[in-house]
Structure 1
Amino acid sequence: MSTVTFPPQPHIDGEQASASTSTRTFERRLGDSEASYFLPARADGVNDMYLRISFTAPPGLLTLERAHTAWAIIRLRNPLLASKVILKTYEDVRFTYDAPVSPNDALREAASAFEFRNETKQGVIDRYLNGPRTLSGERVSYLILSSTTPPDEATKGSREFGLTLCTVHCLSDGIAMHRTMNQFFSLVGSNKSSDELQHTLIEEWESRWGKSSRVNVNPLPAAMEDRLNAPAGRLRRAAALVDFQNTQHKLIGGHTLPRINAGARKTITYEASFDEEQTKVIVRKCKANGVSVGHALFALCNIAMIRAMGGMSPELPMMIYTALNLRPKLNPAHPSKSSHHFLTIGYHNVVLPSFLPTTTKTTHAQTQTRTRTKAHSYTGRNANVGATEKTFWLRAQSAKRQMTEYLKSDMLAARALEMAKERGRRARMWAAEDDGVAAPAPASTPSPSSSLAASAFSPSSFSSAPAPASPTLLPPAPSVAIIGLSLLGDLDALYDYSAFPSIHIRGCLCGSRQRKGASLIFAQTLAGRFHMSLGWDSNGLEPDVVNAFWHGLKSGVHEFVLPGSEMSSARL
């Protein structure tokens, strides 16, 4: 059975819902974290996210009719996906949501943000990352269903598909995107007929916007900052500010990937995946050494990067930044704001040594010679710098201690609020510079007491100007991360596989449109399989070093946590 071709205007026949007579519009201001992602994305979509799930399904299950209906239901349940972002001033950026006046209106609106393509995964992702921007302030989400397998060539009653969810980062994070994917699969992969799915859409609209609904309740979920417990009282706020500054001061990193300027940004994505048995071995090995797979990845990145960089500047530590899931810290939402799709992340850095046990020092000349060799001929091991398994696990355990200490701190929420405030301030300042206008006045914040202020130290990475020289104060240590690591963990708890028994997930890939010279690693387990990927700017970073790093990351998995096994890999 072939995919149904929908008419230009999708329509529910015999609609029994009571259509509204006028559009109802709701809005709220963006929080600091949201604004910090929206403002720099205006020009070229920096940080626009995507999540692609590869799966198989019966050809007749994934019709456009069912896909449009499921997408419309999801957008009713998660109104930020159907909203717009309006810039009034740098301090006043708003989500606006026009509630659909009828189920048919919701269906048409969802269809306008949906596309079916006969295109490969590489084509879909490359176009999204390197082509003209897909999203905008007017269209904050987009869903792409793709397949290159003709329906009549489906094997054993199943056809291969790819589902790519695209969202602006200011309303989304990894957990939100995976929950939305689960919702889509649960709807379109259920045993409901197409008519029954449309009836579900009518019920969803009626419960929210019908005559008997509470039409005056703003359905937009609150900003993260409004659901975290802020320190109460002037003294506690001042103490929180000093704690945040002191915490940032401890983050020392003196390494960066070597940059080039070979043209406009071009993001390349590398993938590595592990089957279910390999994933079980990895999890058991990490657990036996008292760490999670995520903690081990910090150590893997650290060692692979040292080898790729040739052990340069061993006197300075190496810093890797990561995002934190702050949803467990949020206060409960109002029942009317039941959406799961919103941005809720914090940030932290793991600092590890930048040297390995060695018997012979590697000279800078040797390093330069090695990095000029082709990546495919580099084995990932420096003959003079061999990391032992003990060193690897000690660094994984160090990463665990740093992450655990930060996540379990009573100051976590306060630090997240201060970081959001600082990110928002910088984003507004840079937006004004980009637009060629006067910088906005900083938002007023409570000033700490003089004694507390005197003990606070603002690291250079957060200062708008260098601190004045002082004979009693050493220059600030460098505080730069060499790469980012996004760890989503085991995502199987977010998916109800029993709700879509005919759909079988085969793999996942996530990433974002990047700044020039950027790089970011994603790692997660889905459907029992561990996946990791690296997105990097091939025109902004030295290819030999990045390729050596990626090779070293994969070979490190074999060396430390999965000896004697093979790993499939791909390049987009």
Structure 2
Amino acid sequence: MPKKLTASPEVYSRPLAHSELSYFLPSREDGVNDMYLHLGFKAPAALVTAERVLEAWTVIRGRHPLLASTVKMDPWNYEHASFVYTPPISPEAAIAEARNSFSFGHASKDILIDSFLNGPRTLHPGHLSHLFLSADPYVSSSENSTRKERFDLLICATHYLADLTAVHMIADELFTLLVSCPLTPSPATPNSIYAVLAEEFTNRNVEQLRGEWEALPSPLEHRIPVTSIGKFRSAVHKLDYARSQSRLIGGHAFPRAVGSEDRKHTVLLQASFTNERTKTILKQCKANGVTVNNCLFALCGLSWSKINGEKTNDLPLMMYSACNMRAHCNTIPEGKQKADDSCYLAIGYFNIVLPSFLPSDPSSHRSTFWHRAKSVKTQCRDFNDTPFMFSRAHLMAAERGNRAKVWAKEDDEKAAGIWSPPPKPAPSQAQEPKPEPLFPKAPSKALLGLSLLGNLDPTYNHELYKTAGLTLESLTTGPRQRRGGMLLYGYTFAGKLWLMLSYDENAFDKATVKAFWDGIIGGLGEYF
């Protein structure tokens, strides 16, 4: 019988920063941007029982309290929303709480993902994360532990508490617990998953009693340098930000479906390439001085140009993306004494602008592809190397957060039936002319978004997993999208290159989307 461990009830809270509010406020109605990470794997049945996974999930929730937090916001008060965390009073209480955010069943991968993307919302402000484990119906813990069975794991979390990088790290922690904690403890390997849970609970309790435990991690804004100190410097940074935004010119968008339904329905197109084919692609990228990520932007651009042919307009095409800001974040945030929790939202945003035309001579398409891939590399380097990176990140977070507040207020007023459009300015015989903007507004349509996760294999300790007979086979990820959303994902996992197009099939012309996807896959064959 495990020793009963208890802690005094405490409540920890902190306000959501602008970067987090920009995701929280739009998500309230239908879960826009709620994230999922699916991992398909094989393992001995006895290693991956529901109770073992639940105990491991409980450990993870204790290490990363935002997963077990709630968000509180008074109605109509868009300036103040807060994470609230009440630690469990014992390991047993922690398991009981984690059980409410854990589901075990036998649904297929496709059903799990489709239900999350298109069904009723899984998460809400009182339930920020959930773990699904699915096994074949015939698998049971009584099976021979050396026999491998197929499992599906789905980790779900709201985007305002973390990003996909954090979710991948959480998945690695969970698998590490499963393979490192023995099924039958022995003197050589005494620690069961419950023992790890109890030990970490005790350590946190001691830190809590000493006033040393920092329960909730700091937001991105507290982890990157504050550079806009002083009126002059602040003005320079705002000027740079306005100038950088004015350069984001795009005039292309996918045609909308005629008579499309109001209800969104997200579908996935996915392709993977063999280990050998992936090695060939990576080798040619290296020989040309670019990355796969650079090439995917160029492939999207050329595929779009081929679809449009001579119908394309003179405006360039623009694609948006996000970058991982963790390399620029302080491990010990402002106002804290020690390293902080790694589960937090840490992304920045950038855009890629490319020509929309296609050279008339087909023999030059290959050289055009590599030239544009190098142009993408230059734009990415400029984004990362600018001395204004941190000021732009702060200003972008504030702009996104403030914009989300305005839209949230409008949405709530419409739902309450009290919204009215802003009044038009009264006509005046002597209106003063408006000053010309410093940077004239240009068209800024984005063709689609790209989420390029890079090589995910270093995040997962494949060799350690294999010592216990656990092998990761597939990975699918993405957000619960808004109406009319479209995202292309690219990443390397298990030695393979994976591409996935996630889009609302009720919003777009399906033939155009299919031709675009075929152009990307075909381009990998044509240019590599």
Residue equivalent to 1:367: none
Give the Cα–Cα distance (whole angstroms) in 2 for the partners of residues 386 and 483 of structure 1: 27
- SS state at 1:193 partner: coil
- SS state at 1:34 partner: helix
Give the deviation of 1:17 after TM superposition: 4.4
Give the deviation of 1:70 after TM superposition: 0.6
- SS state at 1:27 partner: strand
**CA-based RMSD:** 2.2
Letter of the aligned partner of 1:422 in structure 2? E
Give the deviation of 1:341 after TM superposition: 1.2
Q: 1:45 to 1:179 in 2, by over 3 A?
A: same
Give the Cα–Cα distance (whole angstroms) in 1 for the partners of residues 220 and 437 of structure 2: 40
- SS state at 1:151 partner: coil
Runs of 4+ in 1 over 4 A off after TM superposition: 152-156, 210-213, 334-337, 468-475
Give the Cα–Cα distance (whole angstroms) in 1 for the partners of residues 491 and 100 of structure 2: 31
- SS state at 1:219 partner: coil
For residues 483-507 of structure 1, what are the alpha-carbon distances to aligned partners after superposition, in whole Å with 9 as ceiling and x for unaligned?
A: 0001111112212223322211111
- SS state at 1:199 partner: helix
Q: Does 1:129 align with 2:96?
A: no
Q: Is the 8 A contact 1:208 1:215 kept in 2?
A: no
Which stretch of the first structure deviates more once superposed, 542-551 or 227-236? 227-236
Residue equivalent to 2:426: none
Give the Cα–Cα distance (whole angstroms) in 1 for the partners of residues 90 and 411 of structure 2: 41
Q: Is the 8 A contact 2:246 2:439 kept in 1?
A: no
Which 5+ residue runs of structure 2 have no aligned equivalent?
Answer: 186-191, 420-432
Residue equivalent to 1:300: 299
Give the Cα–Cα distance (whole angstroms) in 1 for the partners of residues 446 and 321 of structure 2: 10
The match for 1:544 among 500, 507, 511 is: 511
Residue equivalent to 1:512: 479
Which stretch of the first structure deviates more once superposed, 342-351 or 88-97? 88-97
Q: Does 1:395 align with 2:355?
A: no
Letter of the aligned partner of 1:407 in structure 2? N
Q: Is the 8 A contact 1:206 1:212 kept in 2?
A: no
Give the Cα–Cα distance (whole angstroms) in 2 for the partners of residues 147 and 270 of structure 1: 24
Letter of the aligned partner of 1:203 in structure 2? E
The match for 2:253 among 253, 256, 264 is: 256
Q: Is the 8 A contact 1:208 1:214 kept in 2?
A: no
Q: Is the 8 A contact 1:17 1:210 kept in 2?
A: no
- 1:202-217 correspondence runs (5 A): 202-210=198-206, 213-215=209-211, 217=213
Give the Cα–Cα distance (whole angstroms) in 1 for the partners of residues 146 and 198 of structure 2: 35
- 1:379-528 correspondence runs (5 A): 388-436=365-413, 476-501=441-466, 502-528=469-495
Letter of the aligned partner of 1:483 in structure 2? L
The match for 2:344 among 342, 345, 365 is: 342
Q: 1:94 to 1:389 in 2, by over 3 A?
A: same
Letter of the aligned partner of 1:15 in structure 2? P
Q: TM-score, normalised by structure 1?
A: 0.83
Q: Is the 8 A contact 1:206 1:213 kept in 2?
A: no
For residues 362-416 of structure 1, what are the alpha-carbon distances to aligned partners after superposition, in whole Å with 9 as ceiling and x for unaligned?
A: xxxxxxxxxxxxxxxxxxxxxxx67621000000000000001111111111111
Q: Does 1:172 align with 2:137?
A: no
Q: 1:500 to 1:214 in 2, by over 3 A?
A: farther
Q: Does 1:95 align with 2:83?
A: yes
The match for 1:160 among 150, 161, 173 is: 150
Give the Cα–Cα distance (whole angstroms) in 2 for the partners of residues 227 and 48 of structure 1: 23
Q: 1:144 to 1:358 in 2, by over 3 A?
A: same
Letter of the aligned partner of 2:117 in structure 1? L
Give the Cα–Cα distance (whole angstroms) in 1 for the partners of residues 167 and 437 of structure 2: 49
Q: 1:469 to 1:542 in 2, by over 3 A?
A: farther
- 1:317-332 correspondence runs (5 A): 317-332=316-331
For residues 511-534 of structure 1, what are the alpha-carbon distances to aligned partners after superposition, in whole Å with 9 as ceiling and x for unaligned?
A: 111111110011111221211111
Give the Cα–Cα distance (whole angstroms) in 2 for the partners of residues 328 and 475 of structure 1: 34
For residues 326-366 of structure 1, what are the alpha-carbon distances to aligned partners after superposition, in whole Å with 9 as ceiling and x for unaligned?
A: 1111122246553211100000000000011116xxxxxxx
Give the deviation of 1:250 after TM superposition: 0.6
Q: 1:31 to 1:472 in 2, by over 3 A?
A: closer
Letter of the aligned partner of 1:68 in structure 2? L
Give the Cα–Cα distance (whole angstroms) in 1 for the partners of residues 454 and 380 of structure 2: 14
Letter of the aligned partner of 1:432 in structure 2? K
Q: 1:149 to 1:313 in 2, by over 3 A?
A: same
Q: 1:482 to 1:192 in 2, by over 3 A?
A: same
Q: Does 1:16 align with 2:6?
A: no
- SS state at 1:47 partner: coil
Residue equivalent to 2:274: 275
Q: Does 1:221 align with 2:217?
A: yes
Give the Cα–Cα distance (whole angstroms) in 2 for the partners of residues 247 and 386 of structure 1: 35
Which 5+ residue runs of structure 1 have no aligned equivalent?
Answer: 1-13, 360-384, 440-467, 562-572
Letter of the aligned partner of 2:280 in structure 1? V
Letter of the aligned partner of 1:113 in structure 2? S
Q: Is the 8 A contact 1:303 1:387 kept in 2?
A: no
Q: TM-score, normalised by structure 2?
A: 0.89
